[in-house]
Amino acid sequence: MADLPLTRDFEPDYGHMVEVSPLVRRVVAQNPSAFTFKGTGTYVIGRGKVAVIDPGPLDDAHVQAILDGLPGETITHILITHTHNDHSPAAAPLKEKTGAPTYGFGPHGSGQPAPEGAKMDEGGDMAFVPDHVIADGDVIGGDGWTVECVFTPGHTSNHMCFGLREEKALFTGDHVMGWSTAVIAPPDGDMRAYMASLRKLLERDDAVYYPTHGAPVDKPQSLVRGYITHRKAREAQILKRLEEGDRTITAMVPVMYAETDKRLYPAAARSVFAHMKQMAEEGRVLTNGTPEISGEYWLP
Q: What is the band of 110 on the pLDDT scale with cuts at 50, 70, 90?
A: low
Amino acid of residue 77: H
271 vs 52, 71, 83, CA distance in Å?
30, 42, 19
pLDDT greater at residue 237 or residue 123? 237
pLDDT of 109 above 90: no
Helix residue ranges, H only, 139-281: 191-202, 220-243, 249-256, 265-281
| Residue 3: pLDDT band with limits 50, 70, 90 | low
* Band of pLDDT at residue 118, cut at 50, 70 and 90: very low
- Give the rounded percent of residues in the chain with a pLDDT score beyond 70: 95
Question: Any idea of the CA torsion for 136, 139, 142, 147, to the nearest 10 degrees?
Answer: 60
> Spelled out in words, what is the top-level CATH class assigned to the domain 18-228?
alpha beta
Residue 151 pairs with which residues in a beta bridge?
160
Question: What is the arithmetic mean of pLDDT over 33-47?
Answer: 95
Res 114: pLDDT: 43
- Does residue 241 carry a pLDDT above 60? yes
pTM over 0.75: yes
Q: Is residue 266 helix, strand or coil? A: helix
Q: What amino acid positions are annotated as catalytic residues? A: 86
Average pLDDT over residues 186-199: 95
User: What integer pLDDT is reported at residue 119 of this predicted model?
Assistant: 42
What DSSP state is assigned to residue 101? P
| Of the candidates 8, 41, 188, the residue with the CA atom closest to the CA atom of residue 105 | 188
Would you state the pLDDT for residue 117?
A: 42
* Across 87-98, average pLDDT: 98
CB 87 within 8 A of CB 212: yes
Q: Which helix (H) or strand (E) holds 209?
A: strand 208-211
Please name the residues in contact with 8: beta carbons below 8 A apart, sequence gap of 6 or more: 37, 179, 214
d(CA 130, CA 40): 20
> Residue 113: what pLDDT?
43
CB atoms within 10 A of CB 296: 13
pLDDT, tens only, 209-227: 999 999 999 999 999 999 9
| pLDDT, the chain, mean | 93
pLDDT at 111: 44
| Residue 298 near residue 242, CB atoms below 8 Å | yes
